[in-house]
A = this chain, B = another copy of it.
Amino acid sequence: MTGLTAYFGIIDVGRVKAGDFVVVSGAAGATGSVVGQIAKLKGATVLGIAGSSDKVRWLKEELGFDDALNYKDKDFFKKFRAATKDLIDVYFDNVGGEILDMALSRAKPHARFVMCGGISQYNSSNPQGPKNYLMIVSMRIRMEGFIVFDYAKEYPRALKDLAQWLSEGKIKRKETIIKGGLDQAENALQDLYNGVNTGKLLVEVKPVEEQQLKASL
């Protein structure tokens, strides 16, 4: 489902095209990592924002992002300004908060802001709206939210493309698996909000050995 979300978000809502400068927040997540790779396939230049130097390395070295930044870096703001000096055509937002505000301040006229989520705000008792939202007027930004289920009729087109790209090695995926069964689900959810995972975060419900044992009976 995260692959489909990435697909319809960057292609149908973001209308990514060759030459675009695309910025993805939550770029090492299950959705963000595929968004960036599809944007690259379409000929865009891609900057990813993630929460650790390991993730930054993975995005650049394994997924082929043009650039990636760690938002926990103490010079992040300065580096973001430098990396977006040519201004943003498409911003794919998974996190909201201050990074969304920074992206608004660096939007090109007629930029498209694809609103997929706002993980930084979900658990906030005092949610912050984007202070720079008046850039939507001055830069004539289109900020659009979407939910993948609205595209149900078009899943076949997306699945065909995604399957082909995966089989050709043009798109890579990663999973972070938490072991220890359902007892760990609660901790895993906290880990999700703390950005522990790279790629899709899964909880192993039953150890593999046990499943295999059962299957072999």
Q: Contacting chain B: which of A67-75, A114-122, A177-185, A204-212?
A: A114-122
Q: How far is the CA of A135 from the CA of B145 in the complex (A)?
A: 8
Q: How far is the CA of A4 from the CA of B147 in the complex (A)?
A: 34
Contact pattern, A 127-145, Cβ under 8 Å of B = 1, otherwise 0: 1111111111111111111
- Please give, as numbers and ranges, the residues of chain B lying within 8 Å of A145 by CB-CB distance: 135-142
Residue of B nearest to A124 (CB): B131
Do residues B142 and A134 form an inter-chain contact, with CB atoms below 8 A? no
**A51 shortest CB reach to chain B, Å:** 20
**A101 shortest CB reach to chain B, Å:** 7
Q: How far is the CA of A141 from the CA of B150 in the complex (A)?
A: 13
Q: How far is the CA of A134 from the CA of B122 in the complex (A)?
A: 9
Contacts A129-B129, A130-B129; is A147 near B142 (CB within 8 Å)?
no
- Please give, as numbers and ranges, the residues of chain B lying within 8 Å of A96 by CB-CB distance: 133-134
Do residues A134 and B127 form an inter-chain contact, with CB atoms below 8 A? yes
**Does A155 sit at the interface, judged by CB under 8 A?**
no
**Does A146 sit at the interface, judged by CB under 8 A?**
yes
Q: How far is the CA of A26 from the CA of B139 in the complex (A)?
A: 21
Q: Give the residue of B129, B136, B140, B147 whose beta carbon is less than 8 angstroms from that of A140.
A: B147
- Please give, as numbers and ranges, the residues of chain B lying within 8 Å of A127 by CB-CB distance: 131, 134
Q: How far is the CA of A140 from the CA of B133 in the complex (A)?
A: 17
Interface centre among A129, A130, A143, A147 (most CB of B within 10 A): A129
22 contacts between A and B (CB under 8 A): A96-B133, A101-B129, A115-B133, A115-B136, A118-B133, A118-B134, A129-B130, A130-B130, A130-B133, A133-B133, A136-B145, A137-B145, A137-B146, A138-B145, A138-B147, A140-B144, A140-B145, A140-B146, A140-B147, A140-B150, A141-B145, A142-B144
The 5 closest A-B pairs by CB, nearest first: A129-B129, A137-B145, A136-B145, A129-B130, A143-B143
